[in-house]
Structure 1
Amino acid sequence: MDSAERIEAASKFLLQSPPGEINDVLNDVRNIISDDDSLQAGVLPALREYNTTQFTTADVPGHQHQSIVSDAARIPSSNEEADAEASVDRYWDPRSRTSFRFDHLSLETSDPEHVEPDPESEPFRAALETASLAYLQAHYHDGVVSVFPTPDSSTRFIIQIVANKYNPNNFWSGRWRSHYTVDTSTKSLEGQILVNVHYYEQGNVQLSTTHTVSLTLPPAISSSGGPSSASKVLALIEAEEGKYQTSLNDAYAEMSEKTFKGLRRALPMTRSKLDWDRVLGYKLGAELTNSKNVFGAA
């Protein structure tokens, strides 16, 4: 396998990294390449793709909150060819009206600049953001939400939510991502919910699932509707995500009661169920007998 093939293999491994484990995967593939300079240059496109599709969160310089790094947040530059070879792209956080440089290798932010929002779309975007932050606080233990306008449209907006939970001490990690496009002119709410969970104690089990959302907005919702319309949009998202969470719980219960039970014997080799109460009685009786012998010896 030549160097280019090793770089391609390393990039594929990185793109398949479970939540919160990309640094571990990167350290592992270093042994495949054995050349840090070639590795850094070769896997940069994969790192950029991973960070944007996985909704990597970044600290907004000068502010006490995080923003989502994604294609919706990326600010195109005049020299796309040069940017493709660099590890740094520029993104923006509409909440603080700040753009910043984000390094896909170090995950660090720098060089904040003020960005003035579009005056026509900003009022409803801000209303959606306020409603989204309230929804996030009510339903996510540790999450980040960003709300973006879309170019050349004052009626179409993008809501992105990401929540991560890493527990390496107990060998599991998970990520929830939601992406919604709200268009008040076509009265549509389109999106996806993506869930990734990795459990790797004495094994390697992963859950990767996608749920597509396609809803029609009520006629009363409009870009001029302000906080009232924004709250109704988030109510639709809340109901849809609640139903999906319930369906996941039901699937887990079914796997526990049917699928996993089908992988083992219903009865032991004796063809009769084990009476655990009797087993405990045997154990207690043995302990009492041992205690009696000890006292008798004394």
Structure 2
Amino acid sequence: MASQLATVSAFVEGAPPGELADVIADIKALTIESPNLVSQLGPAFEKYNEEQFATVKLPGSSQYVIVSSHNSLGNGRYFDVENSSSFVFNHTTQKASGVQSYVLESGHSDLVNSILKSLGTHVKEHYPNASYGVYPIEGDSKIAILVVANKYSPNNFWNGRWRSLYIYSPSSSSLSGTMKVDVHYYEDGNVRLLTTKPTSASISSGSASTIIREITVAEKKYQEELNKGFNNLSEGAFKGLRRQLPITRQKIEWDKIAGYRLGQDIGGGSSKR
């Protein structure tokens, strides 16, 4: 049972963007003989939601907030600096409840709020739709900067997610982080792109504007690298995988071939039986 739970948990943790509900439905279908298995997946759901920067609308609000280990208060409660609130997040239903007022207590409160304001401008300029957050971490010694952008198009058989995580250290004026892209395309096949780009920089002034400027430069460079990589894939590996048209320049009607008699219709002569 333990090995089965570990296997199923791995399925959850590897779910593509926007497809967790589909994965859960498949798990239920595959584990009919263990109907209580899904109820034991709480830790896997929590790990998935926190690592993927799950977003949720707070009751009475139209704005999405982020769920991550960086803004966790423990026991399923998280806080959001911009809304000055904390909330309980159900990792199974992905719903928020129990919203309360939350006052940020940090020696870097001014810097956190300044970064949050500059980050909001950056996100609005460079993302069609994204959520972001800034949180003091590691005993108030560092600041975590998060951005997550989701775009789901199940009718066209693809879903994608961008995640950025940057850690700024006020004591050393250093910025380090990673940018991650996860795209799943599944029309008549199954192709998934998972890529991670690390970045680091020294922030001379330590101001919010300088920090966000470094983030902007890093993300622009990464976007250009991705675009170049996509072009190379299209002209290289993917092109090599495509079936070329025959010399007649017409598509082969494979369904008809199944009904042809081998000797007469394919071999060019009459079939003798």
Q: Does the pair score TM above 0.5?
A: yes
Q: 1:179 aligns with which of 165, 171, 190?
A: 165
More off after superposition, 3-12 vs 190-199: 3-12
Q: 1:257 to 1:136 in 2, by over 3 A?
A: same
Alignment of 1:1-298 (within 5 A): 3-34=1-32, 38-76=36-74, 83=75, 89-118=76-105, 120-153=107-140, 156-218=142-204, 220-221=205-206, 229-263=207-241, 269=247
SS of 1:195 mapped into structure 2 = strand
SS of 1:38 mapped into structure 2 = coil
Q: Residue 62 of structure 1: CA displacement?
A: 4.4
Q: Residue 149 of structure 1: CA displacement?
A: 1.1
Instruction: Structure 1: give runs of 5+ residues left out of the alignment.
Output: 77-82, 84-88, 222-228, 275-298
Aligned to 1:281: none
Q: Residue 268 of structure 1: CA displacement?
A: 5.6
Q: 1:118 to 1:269 in 2, by over 3 A?
A: same
Whether the 8 Å CA contact 1:173–1:198 is kept in 2: the answer is yes
For these two proteins, the number of residue pairs brought into alignment is 249
Q: 1:267 to 1:6 in 2, by over 3 A?
A: closer
Whether the 8 Å CA contact 1:183–1:189 is kept in 2: the answer is yes
Whether the 8 Å CA contact 2:158–2:183 is kept in 1: the answer is yes
Q: Residue 63 of structure 1: CA displacement?
A: 3.6
Note the alpha carbon deviations across 1:83-121, whole angstroms, 9 max, x for none: 5xxxxx111111111111110111111111222212531
Whether the 8 Å CA contact 1:7–1:33 is kept in 2: the answer is no
Note the alpha carbon deviations across 1:247-272, whole angstroms, 9 max, x for none: 010011112223333446889658xx
AA aligned to 1:148 is Y
Whether the 8 Å CA contact 2:107–2:140 is kept in 1: the answer is no
AA aligned to 2:223 is Q
Whether the 8 Å CA contact 2:106–2:136 is kept in 1: the answer is no
In our comparison, the structure showing a higher alpha carbon Rg is 1
SS of 2:72 mapped into structure 1 = coil
CA RMSD of aligned residues (A): 2.0
AA aligned to 1:21 is E
Distance 1:31 1:264 in 2: 33
Instruction: Structure 2: give runs of 5+ residues left out of the alignment.
Output: 250-273
Note the alpha carbon deviations across 1:127-169, whole angstroms, 9 max, x for none: 0000011111001111000110124335x21100000000011
More helix by share: 1
Distance 1:103 1:34 in 2: 24
